[in-house]
A and B are shown apart, each in its own frame.
Chain A
Amino acid sequence: MINIRLRGVLVVAAAVLAAACGRESPTAVGGGLLPGGAVRTFEVILDASQFLRADTTVSGFVRASTTVFEIVAQSFGGSVTAHTLARFVQPGTSITVLDSTGTSRTDTLPHFFAGTVVLQVDTLAVNGTSPVLLRLFRTAEPWDGYSASWTMRVDSGSTHLAWATAGGTVGPMVDTATWTPGADSVVFHVDSATIAAWADTTDAGRGALVAAATAGSRLRFLSIGYNVQAHSSIRKDTVVTQSPGVVGATFIYTPDIPPPPPGTLQIGGVPAWRSFLTFAPDLETRTLACPASLGVSCTFSLQRATVNYAGLLLQPAPAGAWAPEDSVRPSAWISDTSRLVPLSRAPLGIQIGVSSPAYPATLFQGTPTATAMTVPVTSFVAALAGDTARVGAAAGATRTLGILNVPEPGLFGVATFYGRAAGALAPRLRLVVTIASEAQLP
């Protein structure tokens, strides 16, 4: 009997003992019992000479055919002209209609008598403030949607075929339309002959070309739609509309995006440009002075401090004719330089940070603005400083960051910013760091 009761008591006691192993919650009073100012967080901004060892810009990433937008331009900025190419799906050879008795029937002899090509305008892009006259043509030469460029209609593998007319050899003009500022779409009307021509899949040159006729214009489209209307042979007064879709679309432009002016870097564009910043090898060991606002004369190194935040401050530069047509979202990535391959082929590692919100395209127009872009690189700098326990070793796998616009390709124009040789406009590194007194026994 005693044994049974004692066993019960022991079980309860063991449970109580186990439950007692908790941590005490910190109390909100008592801070006055400890020396004040033991933990200090402050901001330090490093000049390029203090943290940046090298920078460069490289092009050649992605093609126009992979973009999620199309561009039409005419002497924009005095130099940039772009045409959009598209090839449409063949309309269906049959339609379904209701006959006079209300019965659904398949009509295999529809007559496609009219259609439309609809350009959905990117209303958030910088498309200008003046109307733009657009022209829709049939293309007159075969072209490759993947590799076509301003001068080459096919430029893939061992096949290199030039356009007879640079910028795309065109046949008859199909229609004209005018985009007015603020409109979200442009509609071209398509005649039956053009519908038939674009439905002829034996013609490798079939397709559409959209060009702008208004000098100094540039429009960005999000999509191209193709709709056709057919009369039924079963019931003449019935009109059926189909939306065949697009086989492929791309844009071609001239001239090529030039390298950035000396002392500047750029991201964006098609093919995309990326900028690479290599951080100084002594960044984490360099002795830095605490700011005067701290009220304490002290020095520290990043190895002896905690990096709470790090952000690259990139000063936008005017990009002229190649100014971005949409907002810019710079992003920092680890660039794997360990394989000793050129930067243009160096794979990207993990993404370190991305600017949010995106920066307006107007920052890159006209004279330099006072607003710098900030790209967060906290985990990268923290890893360089040795805080890999929290941010992971991958964040500091190399000292080179790739800066690119995301999504890539997301811009036709380029976002230009000043490089390390630009003096006061060069990249800076904003750090928020915490240093503290060591907790010691008395």
Chain B
Amino acid sequence: MRRVAAIPACVVASVALAALLPALLAAPLQAQSLLSTSGLGVPTPPLDARARALGGVPTGLFGFALSLGNPADAAGILYRGGMASLQPFSRTDEIGGERATTSGARFPLLRVLYPAGRFVASLGYGGFLDQSWAVTTSGTERFGNDSASVTDVVRSAGGISQLQLGTSYYVSSHLALGAAVGLYTGNTVRQVTRTFPDSASANFLGFSSRTQWGFHGPLASVGARADIAGVLRLAGAATWSGTLRADSSAGGASPRAYKLPLQAELGASAILAPKLTLSAGGSWAGWSRTEFGATGAGNCGPLGSCLAAPVFSRDTWAVGAGMEYGGTHAGIRTFPFRAGFHYAQLPFYGSGDVLPSEKSLSLGAGMRVGGSEDSPGAQLDAAIERGSRTGGPSTGPLSESFWRLTFSLAVFGR
């Protein structure tokens, strides 16, 4: 294994700090989909840019992979370091013949690693469920003999992330094991505001209400990775999750508790040619065990009905596959290219809704500097996805198309 060119530890520490700072500041993750208005949101797998480019294959990739899905995947990394992913997106929603485009960005994955012999300890912070969305509506309210235009904004900001402390063990060149424990954490603020844009009602005070929850729940994960004959890699992991508690932390938020699903992730890669690899994988989550209370439970305000629609959940599959070309070399730099396809079912839907799902095509590229394929000195990856989602009421379903970029930067030192 080739030694990486020297990178000072202070640089690595800086990257690690930069990577974790957004998590420490609890910056809200941004909405990927209006479908996150339903249930607990939209799953946001903690995948890096390379996995995204390969169709969202969560584990079992040859070489360097830092997605959080399988704690065994970090085995073989020789140098301490950190990585961060950034995911800007642009989305166009179409429902009921109306279209609107919005954009945002999120941090799907942040991770630091510390190898010690055959062990690699890691601390990761990644996405789980995104609950950020905002909808604005305009209308007219009549009061007495007057009427006024009103603009309402219902905004949800936040989500649930997972903080994992894990270790992987490099058993042999054919086998690696891993385990992790962690917490689901995060918070969600839901704010309803009404303003009166008419000049005639310019002296009207606006309306605003705010509810907030803090989330916490345990998780534990085990995983394994096997290499067969140097041309095939198989990997799998299972994640157990306890009860997610949503505690009221502001306003009239009523506390809730949810059973979270057992999750399984599988992936495989095969070397088709010296520089050509095929990867495929998927994940399953038993969301059907997650039950939602009767709508209207708790503090619903004077109107007597809560701003929460009835929600149902289902077990979901997400599958994907992709090809990676080892690319060209320039000195110690390598430039791989990737393409993939991804399909995922989304777990939450309303009564009579079209069952929500997402699919996308992806392209990606990377730049590896120094080190080896399994343990680079630094790696910058990028993926671009063009996809669509459907869901929402069957009488007027929501159709989304999106562009999603993912950038991952990993830097390692001695």
Residues of A within 8 A of B (CB): 2-3, 5-7, 9-10, 13-14, 16-17, 20-35, 37-43, 45, 290, 293, 296, 298-300, 304-309, 376, 378-379, 382, 387, 390-391, 430, 432, 434-442
Contact = CB atoms under 8 A, between A and B. Distances in A.
Given A17-B86, A22-B104, A293-B142, A439 B309 contact: no
Given A17-B107, A24-B134, A442-B295, A29 B301 contact: no
B154 A38 contact: yes
Interface stretch (B219-227, B266-274, B390-398): B390-398
Contacts of A387: 205
Contacts of A305: 302
Contact of B135 (A16, A27, A437): A27
A169 to B, nearest CB: 52
A8 to B, nearest CB: 11
List the 10 closest pairs (A to B, CB-CB), nearest first: A43-B143, A26-B134, A20-B105, A439-B190, A24-B104, A434-B207, A31-B137, A43-B144, A26-B136, A442-B311
A391 B377 CA distance: 57
A309 B301 contact: no
A38 B377 CA distance: 54
Contact of B298 (A17, A28, A391, A440): A440
B344 to A, nearest CB: 19
Nearest to B350: A33
Contacts of A434: 194, 207
A38 B107 contact: no
Contacts of B207: 39, 41, 306, 308, 434, 436
B307 A438 contact: yes
Interface in B1-53: 5-8, 11, 14-15, 18, 22, 27-28, 30-31, 34, 37-40
A397 to B, nearest CB: 18
A435 B301 contact: yes
B370 interface: yes
A377 B188 CA distance: 35
Contacts of B28: 23
Interface string B139-176: 00111101010101111110000000000000000000
A378 to B, nearest CB: 6
B199 interface: no
Nearest to A387: B205
Contact of B143 (A21, A22, A42): A42
Nearest to A25: B102
B93 A37 contact: no
Given A309-B203, A440-B308, A39 B295 contact: no
B98 A29 contact: yes
A296 B205 contact: no
B230 interface: no
B273 to A, nearest CB: 30
6 contacts: A23-B28, A28-B100, A29-B93, A34-B307, A35-B305, A430-B144
B409 A9 contact: yes
A10 B15 contact: yes
Interface residues of B, number: 107
A40 B96 contact: no
The A interface is mostly helix, strand or loop, or mixed, namely mixed
Contact of B308 (A299, A300, A390, A442): A442
Contacts of B228: none
A195 B154 CA distance: 76
B154 A34 contact: yes
B117 interface: no
Contacts of A437: 300-301, 303-307
Given A13-B409, A17-B107, A42-B141, 17 more contacts: A5-B369, A9-B380, A26-B102, A26-B155, A30-B93, A33-B38, A33-B95, A40-B141, A306-B207, A306-B209, A308-B205, A437-B304, A437-B305, A439-B190, A441-B188, A442-B40, A442-B311
B251 interface: yes
B204 A34 contact: no
Contacts of B22: 17, 21
A41 B205 CA distance: 12
Given A305-B302, A439-B308, A7 B11 contact: yes
B300 A45 contact: no
Contacts of A432: 143, 204
Interface in B235-256: 246, 251-254, 256
B209 A439 contact: yes
- Give the one of A16, A17, A293, A306 with max B CB within 10 A: A17
Contact of B37 (A30, A37, A299, A376): A30
A13 to B, nearest CB: 5
A238 B22 CA distance: 87
Contact of A20 (B15, B86, B96): B86
B88 interface: yes
B303 A298 contact: yes
Contacts of B332: 2
A309 B143 CA distance: 11
Contact of A308 (B86, B204, B393): B204
- Give the one of B14, B99, B144, B407 with max A CB within 10 A: B144
B307 to A, nearest CB: 4
Given A21-B22, A440-B253, A307 B205 contact: yes
Nearest to A5: B369
A17 B18 contact: yes
Nearest to A308: B204
